[in-house]
Structure 1
Amino acid sequence: MNVICIEEKAFFTLMDGVIKYVRSEMEPIIQDKWIGKMEAMRLLRIKSPTTLQKLQDEGKIRFSQPEKKHIVYDRDSIIEYLEAHAKEPF
């Protein structure tokens, strides 16, 4: 077993560099405007496709149907739906 000793200042400098690197790698990730059923359910924190269908049927979230059996959901409308139902703290 090898043990590496470094000064506290050097350790925190190293950690700052690692954190900056990880953040820079995460920033370029672009989220799609249109998402599939599973991603929509994950964002809404629901497990039932029936609940997703109900939100779609009631016009509470936007969707697009480019092909007969292919439905995608608008990520922004899901976020807006969640924000509209958010409760402010007392």
Structure 2
Amino acid sequence: MEVICLEDQAFYALLDRVMERLKEKYEIKEDKWISGDEAMKKLRITSKTTLQKFRDEGRIRFTQPDKKIILYDVDSIHEYLDRHSKDTF
């Protein structure tokens, strides 16, 4: 049996590449607009009030096709997370 050791960064980079190839192969596309629950999961928040605050302050894009339906733009959530990410030392 052969054991392969990878540093954390290399391992996660490999996983990202594998996921991208699988998405391409099976033509898996993420929805552009997601529900509030999915947005909260991506943002790692548990409060609907915080999600509303993000929406009210214009931190993430949303659409409201119906009075009780609010959908969130996945790209703006990723951009928000990228803007608030910190570089490692």
The two structures share one fold, judged by TM-score above 0.5: yes
Letter of the aligned partner of 1:45 in structure 2?
Answer: R
Q: Is the 8 A contact 2:23 2:29 kept in 1?
A: no
Moved over 6 A (4+): none
Q: Which segments of 5 or more consecutive residues in structure 1 lack a partner in the other structure? A: 1-7, 9-22
1:24–1:86 CA distance, 2 compared to 1 (3 A)? closer
CA-atom RMSD in angstroms: 2.2
Pair member with larger Rg: 1
* Distance in 1 (alpha carbons) for counterparts of 2:82 and 2:23: 28
Deviations 1:28-80 (A, max 9, x none): 22110000001000000011111100000000000000111110000000000
The residue number in structure 1 matching 2:67 is 68
State the TM-score, normalizing by the size of structure 2.
0.71
- Quote the offset at 1:84 in angstroms: 0.1
TM, length-normalised to structure 1: 0.70
Q: In 2, distance between residues paired with 1:43 and 1:24?
A: 19
Q: Matched residues in 2 for 1:83 and 1:35: separation?
A: 18
User: How many percent of aligned residue pairs carry the same amino acid?
Assistant: 58
**C-alpha separation in 2, matches of 1:26 and 1:39:** 24
Distance change (3 Å), C-alpha of 1:75 and 1:88: same
